[in-house]
Chains A and B, each alone.
Chain A
């Protein structure tokens, strides 16, 4: 979380929000694709698929290899992988970070994994107050990721989308400078809009990957 009034900026360390973002991401993919006839089934306990510092172009293939070795793709046509990027408070994305989501499509599953075998999602909440709000607009929650669609049988890359950004403006001002200082009501507002940002990003990724007929 980053809080700024134009003169003073406070950046707080990443805090666990407890939103179960991995499960929500899988649910979002299912909600967005099921109406078009795509079957999405949960993948449980997917862990340690790719190292956090594995930033080469073959990382989606390595994800596929590990899933295939674990027989998680036996009834699947394609795998959707969402790899979260580190972003700043303006929504600019850097090279891939440690956390990512894995979603299987068209007959398989969704799941989540990190190098520590435990999913740790990150959103960036930029709180704008006073002059800062006047200059750059309202507070925003952002999440960024790269998306890959991989053929489940061959491991071939079917499509990709880089730097997908989900972002939502929050309709209120916040007084707290860190997430832990926020009252519960404000934390619920933050969760609502950050999950909405995630939905927006995943919807954009699905669109960019050409998963839905236009």
Chain B
């Protein structure tokens, strides 16, 4: 009897804790971008070492690092804020590094012949919700500057990605949406002939 009296509150606590993990603020680990194996415009230059820096993030008053959006439900009710890890500037720079390595370059600061950096203009997700489903929409806008010697080019890449769920906008789904946008950004970078020209020059 005593065990039952203890077990019930414990079971309630555990079940409520399980509920709390589904709704509320979440931290979403974003898997690293995997470079495509198709030929890239970047391969046009001779192999070299390139220093790739994390992209700068604009931030804002009271904006916590990595916080990119919010999940909402019917009635515009907040179901918690979304934070990604690693930080957006690192997510994008890691994607650029993956593409450069796939194109045959070495990535690192020591002995670098070229430097790549830039900034994040937009890196966010939001949800559009109906009675039947949620759409999770990711929007990414970055500027990437490539400098080699006296040559330099700054290029802007944008991506908007969406995935629909009839169940719940989970962390895994958000990670997929972010990942799809990053894949698109990486594809644009890989195909950018202006970047290839600077690296060749």
Residues of A within 8 A of B (CB): 24, 27-28, 31, 168-169, 192-193, 195-200, 204, 207, 214
The answer to whether B25 and A198 touch across the interface, beta carbons within 8 angstroms, is no
Is B62 an interface residue, CB under 8 A from the partner? Answer: yes
Q: Is the interface of A mostly helix, strand, loop or mixed?
A: helix
Residue of B60, B61, B67 most packed against chain A (CB within 10 A):
B61
Contact with A along B57-76 (1 / 0, CB 8 A): 00011111001000000001
Chain A residues contacting B63 (CB-CB under 8 Å) are 196, 199
Chain B residues contacting A214 (CB-CB under 8 Å) are 76
Q: Which of A169, A196, A204, A207 contacts B62 (CB 8 A)?
A: A196
B interface, size bucket: 10 to 19
Whole-angstrom distance between the Cβ of A169 and the nearest chain B Cβ: 7
Tell me whether A207 and B60 are in contact in the complex, defined as CB-CB below 8 angstroms, given that A169-B25, A200-B81 are known contacts.
no
Q: Which of A27, A168, A169 contacts B61 (CB 8 A)?
A: A27
Chain A residues contacting B60 (CB-CB under 8 Å) are 31, 199
The answer to whether B64 and A193 touch across the interface, beta carbons within 8 angstroms, is yes
The answer to whether B25 and A24 touch across the interface, beta carbons within 8 angstroms, is no
Chain A residues contacting B25 (CB-CB under 8 Å) are 169
Closest 9 CB pairs of A and B: A199-B62, A195-B62, A196-B62, A27-B61, A196-B64, A28-B61, A31-B60, A24-B61, A198-B62
The answer to whether A199 and B76 touch across the interface, beta carbons within 8 angstroms, is no
Chain A residues contacting B78 (CB-CB under 8 Å) are 204, 207
Sample of 5 A–B contacts (CB below 8 Å):
A31-B61, A193-B64, A197-B62, A207-B76, A207-B78
A17 and B60 CA atoms in complex are apart in Å by: 20
Whole-angstrom distance between the Cβ of A191 and the nearest chain B Cβ: 10
Nearest B residue (CB) for A201: B62
Nearest B residue (CB) for A210: B76
Chain B residues contacting A204 (CB-CB under 8 Å) are 78
